[in-house]
């Protein structure tokens, strides 16, 4: 019995460490963060005014089955925990049940860790054209605020405050 408790504690610790590794999986969506390959790159900047700002949710994967690391990690962890229950056929059922429950739980955990708050900005450029950009909520920009829409050569766009 003592060995089972120690094993379950180790499995739980491994699951916590594994899940904490997923936190680095979410894409950085702040307008203040640049990838190293953008340094020194000339981007195009367009002046405009924010006409709409709407809070949104950004998800890396929409469907649960697309969260492969969570499915695999959770399935392995759940199977290991299930292997400590019962003997014979009961043990096999516990392993399978633990693996399934762990896979589902891992997929949900990965999806939650890859979900971020964001803001959808619609900007009317000074030339009358409309551009819509989704980015992180910080720094906060307001409707009616003068901004620049910056578009990089690889298509990454961002909205930043314009000093008038």
Q: Write the pLDDT tens digit of every residue in 108-142.
A: 666 666 677 899 999 999 999 999 999 988 889 99
The confidence score (pLDDT) of residue 26 equals: 52
Confidence of residue 87 (pLDDT cuts 50, 70, 90): confident
Cα separation, 70 vs 110, in Å, equals: 5
User: Pick the residue with more confidence: 110 or 32?
Assistant: 110
Question: Which pLDDT score is estimated for 98?
Answer: 75
Q: Which element (helix H / strand E) includes 75?
A: helix 68-82
Q: Are 151 and 44 in contact (CB under 8 A)?
A: yes
Query: What average pLDDT does range 64-88 have in this prediction?
Result: 69
State residue 23's pLDDT score. Answer: 45
User: Span 74-102, mean pLDDT?
Assistant: 75
Say what percent of the chain tops pLDDT 70: 61
Distance CA 156, CA 34 (A): 10
CATH 2.40.50.100 is right for the domain spanning 31-58+117-164 = yes
Q: What's the DSSP call for residue 94?
A: H
pTM: 0.56
Domain boundaries, the chain: 1-26+61-113, 31-58+117-164
> Token digits for 68?
């492969």
Q: What is the mean pLDDT of residues 83-101?
A: 75
């Amino acid at each position: 019995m003592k060995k089972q408790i120690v094993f379950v504690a180790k499995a739980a610790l491994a699951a916590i460490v594994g899940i904490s590794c997923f936190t680095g999986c979410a894409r950085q969506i702040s307008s203040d963060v640049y990838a190293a390959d953008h340094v020194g790159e000339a981007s195009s900047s367009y002046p405009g005014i924010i006409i709409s700002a709407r809070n949104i949710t950004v998800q890396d994967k929409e469907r649960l089955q697309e969260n492969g690391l969570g499915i695999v990690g959770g399935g392995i962890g759940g199977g290991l925990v299930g292997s400590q229950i019962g003997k014979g056929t009961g043990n096999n059922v516990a392993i399978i049940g633990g693996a399934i429950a762990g896979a589902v739980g891992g997929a949900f955990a990965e999806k939650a860790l890859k979900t971020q708050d964001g803001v959808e900005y619609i900007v009317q450029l000074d030339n009358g054209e409309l551009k819509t950009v989704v980015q992180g909520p910080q720094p906060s920009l307001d409707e009616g605020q003068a901004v620049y829409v910056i578009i990089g050569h690889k298509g990454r766009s961002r909205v930043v405050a314009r000093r008038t």
